[in-house]
Chains A and B, each alone.
Chain A
Amino acid sequence: QKEVEQNSGPLSVPEGAIASLNCTYSDRGSQSFFWYRQYSGKSPELIMSIYSNGDKEDGRFTAQLNKASQYVSLLIRDSQPSDSATYLCAVNGSWGKLQFGAGTQVVVTP
């Protein structure tokens, strides 16, 4: 079983719609959770971090965390073509050891 699992996609989303990305993790002791965006040929760039159960909103992005279900999600509202990228879910275990999912490719279609 992979430690962090994501749907690989591609997730095709019409412009202006909501993109919903899901991630599950296996380490119950994980304390911090991150969503990174990676454009093709570029480095991962932090979108959101979340540490507590519930929702966290930042602009068009909302991260949701449910530690009991070992589940973290990312919603992108009013999706734009510039949101087309691969979104990486990362979960932090001990000593800052980030475990990444394989990423979900999002394609926003005009």
Chain B
Amino acid sequence: DTAVSQTPKYLVTQMGNDKSIKCEQNLGHDTMYWYKQDSKKFLKIMFSYNNKELIINETVPNRFSPKSPDKAHLNLHINSLELGDSAVYFCASSVGTGQETQYFGPGTRLLVL
């Protein structure tokens, strides 16, 4: 059973396109996150939702818009894709918003040409 799943695994697209990445967790967790890992492998938080409410919104271009239809799902929509958006995007989830362990999905590898 996959705990945190993401679709698609790979995404190759042209500059200027709009794309979405979906994430689902079946762990019963209340909090979900989006992270970006760049080519230097540095992992940085982008957004976090707790029970469908946005609680962390880092300095991310407003071309990126997260949406949480329910606490088991968190999607990321990216408008007007740029070359610099190429990265691996990881979804994660945790029980709460405190100090608990975060569990990561398999990642979505986005390549913008």
Contact = CB atoms under 8 A, between A and B. Distances in A.
Interface of A: 31-32, 34, 36, 38, 42-46, 49, 51, 86, 88, 92, 95-100, 102-103
Label chain A's interface by main secondary structure.
Answer: strand
A98 B47 CA distance: 11
A96 B98 contact: yes
B48 A97 contact: yes
9 contacts: A32-B99, A34-B101, A36-B104, A43-B107, A88-B43, A92-B99, A96-B33, A98-B45, A103-B42
A46 B101 contact: yes
Q: Which among B97, B99, B105 has the greatest number of chain A C-beta atoms within 10 A?
A: B99
Given A43-B105, A46-B101, A51-B99, A96 B94 contact: yes
Interface residues on B, range: 20 to 34
| A-B complex: 5 closest residue pairs judged by Cβ atoms | A32-B99, A43-B104, A100-B43, A96-B97, A44-B104
B1 interface: no
Contact of A100 (B44, B100, B105): B44
Given A49-B101, A97-B48, A97-B56, A43 B41 contact: no
A102 B90 CA distance: 16
A47 to B, nearest CB: 11
